[in-house]
Amino acid sequence: MKHPILTAPTPDRAATPSGLSSLAGRSVLSLCDLSATEIRAVLDLAKSLKRDYAPWRTAMSQRSAVLLFEKPSLRTRVSFEIGIAKLGGAMVFLDHQNNPIGERETVSDYGRNLERWTDCLVARVYRHATLEALRNATRVPVINALSELCHPCQILADALTLEEHGVDLASMRLAWLGDGNNVCHSLIELTAIFGGSITVITPRGYEPCSKVVGQAQAAAAATGARISLTNDPAAVRGADAVYTDTWVSMGQQKDAAKLAAMQALQVNADLMRTAGSHTLFMHCLPAHRGEEVTDEVIDSNRSVVFDQAENRMHAQNALLLLVLGLA
Which residues bind to ligand CP, rule: CB under 6 A?
Answer: 73-76, 146, 154, 284-286
Question: What distance in Å separates the CA atoms of residue 148 and residue 239, rounded to the nearest whole number?
Answer: 26
C-beta separation of 50 from 77 below 8 A: no
- Write down the least CB distance from residue 143 to ligand NVA, Å: 15
- Write down the least CB distance from residue 154 to ligand CP, Å: 5
Known active-site residue 245: yes
Known active-site residue 284: yes
Known active-site residue 154: yes
| Contacted entry of ligand CP, ligand NVA, none for residue 74, CB cut-off 5 to 8 Å set by kind | ligand CP
Question: What distance in Å separates the CA atoms of residue 18 and residue 244, rounded to the nearest whole number?
Answer: 38
Instruction: Return the residues of window 150-189 that contact ligand NVA according to CB under 6 A.
Output: 181-183
Question: What distance in Å separates the CA atoms of residue 316 and residue 307, rounded to the nearest whole number?
Answer: 14
Examine residue 209 and tell whether it contacts ligand NVA (CB under 6 A): no
Known active-site residue 312: yes
- Write down the least CB distance from residue 145 to ligand NVA, Å: 10
Examine residue 121 and tell whether it contacts ligand NVA (CB under 6 A): no
Question: What distance in Å separates the CA atoms of residue 155 and residue 93, rounded to the nearest whole number?
Answer: 23
Q: Which residue stretches of the chain are H helix?
A: 36-51, 75-86, 107-114, 128-137, 152-164, 182-194, 210-223, 256-262, 269-275, 295-298, 305-323
List 150, 154, 173, 179, catalytic entry? 154
Q: Of 96 and 112, which has the nearer Cβ to ligand CP?
A: 96
Q: Of 70 and 240, which has the nearer Cβ to ligand CP?
A: 70
| Contacted entry of ligand NVA, ligand CP, none for residue 246, CB cut-off 5 to 8 Å set by kind | ligand NVA
Q: Of 211 and 273, which has the nearer Cβ to ligand NVA?
A: 211
Question: What distance in Å separates the CA atoms of residue 319 and residue 327, rounded to the nearest whole number?
Answer: 9
Q: How many other C-beta atoms are found inside a 10 Å radius of the C-beta of residue 181?
A: 24
**Dihedral of alpha carbons 117, 112, 124, 96, sign:** positive
List 153, 312, 314, 316, catalytic entry? 312
The closest of 8, 31, 35 to 19, measured between CA atoms, is 35
- Write down the least CB distance from residue 223 to ligand NVA, Å: 25
8-state DSSP, 236: G
List 32, 284, 308, 314, catalytic entry? 284
C-beta separation of 325 from 13 below 8 A: no
Considering only 24, 137, 229, 250, the residue that binds ligand NVA (CB under 6 A) is 250
Binding site for ligand NVA (CB under 6 A): 146, 181-183, 245-246, 249-250, 284
Active site members: 124, 151, 154, 245, 284, 312
